[in-house]
Amino acid sequence: MRDLDAEVLEGALGYQFTSRELLIRALTHRSSVYEKTSTAAADNEQIEFLGDAILGFVVSDALVSAHPDFPEGKLSKLKAHLVSASHLHHVAARLKLGDHLLLGRGEEMSGGREKKALLANALEALIAALYLDGGIEPARRFIIQHVIGGAEPTSEMAPAIDYKSALQELAQSLKLPQPRYAIVEERGPEHAKTFLVEVRVGRDWVSRAEGLSKKSAGQKAAQEVLRQLADWGR
């Protein structure tokens, strides 16, 4: 069993826990408690249940705010994608969460650090730990930055995610300047133009992206800055 490097993980999360015990519990698999290879008093299954509820609430709230005209069916499909085990596994992999899991010897030997369900569950437990330690805002910021902002651009659901709204909300929560957009270039004939749009958040975060409309280019650029902020502090 590896020891938890809390400082490294907190740097990746952009959040310092008041109670490290909550962070340890969020990453403790039941096999570690059963085999007594961890000092944690309990595993992460109960707070994973809480994290799942918080994740669903924050994603639902963000989608309704970003898309007030969407019907329930479309909102449900978007939410289903963002809270799916497959997407949460992708987010956990980006955070290298598997490196920090506290596992029993048997689970370690069977490749538990790379198991999709185990990583997705740990991510939900981590969301609950953020909420229990600091309230809803740290959990909301994490979800917007890593779960919504970390959606794969190749996903069929990704184009309907409002990355510009997500970036604006994240910048506000981090007390950063509001995003500023500018059309850098327009190319092509009038009936088939492409647009190059730049977005800046302060002086440190900037991205440019092309699209067949100003809106699509702005969304792509905003998504990239969300990714930059997700990597900030690693």
Distance CA 66, CA 62 (A): 6
Structure tokens at 192: 């088939």
Q: Is 190 a catalytic residue?
A: no
Q: Provide DSSP, 51-82.
A: HHHHHHHHHHHHHHHH-TT--HHHHHHHHHHH
Distance CA 166, CA 66 (A): 8
Distance CA 192, CA 95 (A): 39
Kindly report the backbone phi and psi dihedral angles of residue 104, in degrees, each rounded to the nearest multiple of 5, phi listed first: -75, 165
Q: Is 5 a catalytic residue?
A: no
Which of 48, 107, 124, 224 is an active site residue?
A: 124
Q: Provide DSSP, 92-103.
A: HHHTTGGGG-B-
- The residues annotated as belonging to the active site are 52, 124
